[in-house]
Structure 1
Amino acid sequence: MSTKSHKIGIILGSTRSPRVCPQIGTFITNTLTPLVPSGMEFSLIDISTNPLPLYDEPGIPSLITEASGYKHAHTQAWSLLISSHSAFIFLTPQYNWGYPASLKNAIDYLYFEWRDKPTMIVSYGGHGGGKAASQLRQVLEGGLKMKVVEAMPALTFPGREVLRQASRGEELTLPEGAWEKEGEDAKRGFEEMLRML
């Protein structure tokens, strides 16, 4: 890892209401914070508070290399925000065997702001969200040329009660030891990200 300071964006990939994505963000932040070296910080990026209409730029993102090249203020602001981060952790739910359209739209607004940056994907859902994570990996790694770490923690809601809580956006009451293995996967992936910086 280089000695310069780094900001790691934790992208909350759900805009649905109700949602538990912020709770997943807290879990990941708390899990990884002990591993954060000096000069590095986490930053939550909530796409629901950075609203982007369905892609409306007249240009193609892969041909635009700086924020001023975009027409709309919302795209310029999104470009500057993403450019200010060195790496990302994408948190995605799985909806109907895929990741949310709002996340795809937010990704597709930009290109160079994402390219070559280290990233990790964390999925969650009733079955862990592995299908969504695999699709997202293909987009980030293949389409955007991001450096996606091997580990892809998949957080499965443990039992009907937790699944019910998640579907209502309630506070999750996780049993003791829930997501312990997935937390270790996240740590392993984060350590790989650090080596890429």
Structure 2
Amino acid sequence: MTASPPAPSKSFRIGIICGSQRKPRVGDQITDFVHEIIKLHSSSINNTATFDFDYIDIETLSLPFYDEPGIPSKITSPEEYAHEHTRTWSRRVAALDAFVFVTPQYNWGIPAGLKNAIDFLYNEWKGKPAMIISYGGHGGDKAASSLKLCLGGTECREVLYKAARGEQLKLEAAKNDGIWSSERKRITGAWDEMVALQK
């Protein structure tokens, strides 16, 4: 009896998107925390897939407010956009297979910069799996719902005050204690669901 050959490894490119542009902010810390949990989790399970991550910080994109004359849903190639900043953004998103959005909740919604970055494109996002991590002083469920609509965890007061001042939250993905450690299973569970959709 001959052993069957090992299954070929699949490679996926995942966008890790930090949606906060606020100064001071803790969104980058939370995004880093989520990113580290996903990397630790994906390397610890027996999986034939490999993952390359593109860390996208909305703050550094420098996109203007939406200024394209065309309708994104009608555009199928980066060359069809009028502006180079949109063509660059289009190529970056089109190259990705799935997305992890990390967003704060502002007035029951998502930050304008994140919404603006999403609105520039359409087909580049279409049909690709995504997971949403949201946070805020009143939790992030409404931001998650808002972002879910765009795409078709409650913290304690002490953390809220630290976040508002942009202080270090001491988020450590490899440790089982500290704030947000209880969210590990929800993050990895959502990650596993998203990966399953790509098979």
TM-score range, shorter chain: 0.7 to 0.9
Deviations 1:3-22 (A, max 9, x none): 43111111111111111111
Counterpart among 86, 93, 102 of residue 75 in structure 1: 86
Residue 95 in 1 paired to residue 106 in 2? yes
Q: How many residues align?
A: 183
SS of 2:10 mapped into structure 1: coil
Gaps of 5+ in 1: 142-153
Q: 1:176 to 1:34 in 2, by over 3 A?
A: closer
Asked whether the 8 Å contact 1:12–1:92 carries over to 2, the reply is yes
Q: Alignment identity in percent?
A: 50
- TM superposition score normalised by structure 2: 0.86
- Residue deviations 1:149-190, cap 9 Å, x none? xxxxx3x33332x22210011111469342233210111110
Structure number with greater Rg is: 2
Q: How does 1:18-29 map to 2 (within 5 A)?
A: 18-29=24-35
The gaps in structure 2 that reach 5 residues or longer are 1-7
Alpha carbon RMSD of aligned pairs, Å? Answer: 1.9
Q: Normalised by the size of structure 1, how large is the TM-score? A: 0.86
**Runs of 4+, deviation exceeding 6 Å:** none
Comparing 183-192 with 166-175, greater Cα deviation is found at 166-175
Question: Hey, what does 1:166 align to over in structure 2?
Answer: 163
Aligned residue in 1 for 2:73: 62
| Equivalent residue in structure 2 for 1:32, among 38, 43, 48 | 38
SS of the residue 2:160 aligns to: helix
Aligned twin of 2:148: 137
The residue that corresponds to 2:3 in the other structure is none
Distance verdict in 2 for CA 1:111–1:41, change over 3 Å: same
Residues 1:173 and 1:40: Cα distance change in structure 2 (over 3 Å): closer
**Contact 1:158–1:178, Cα closer than 8 Å, also in 2:** no
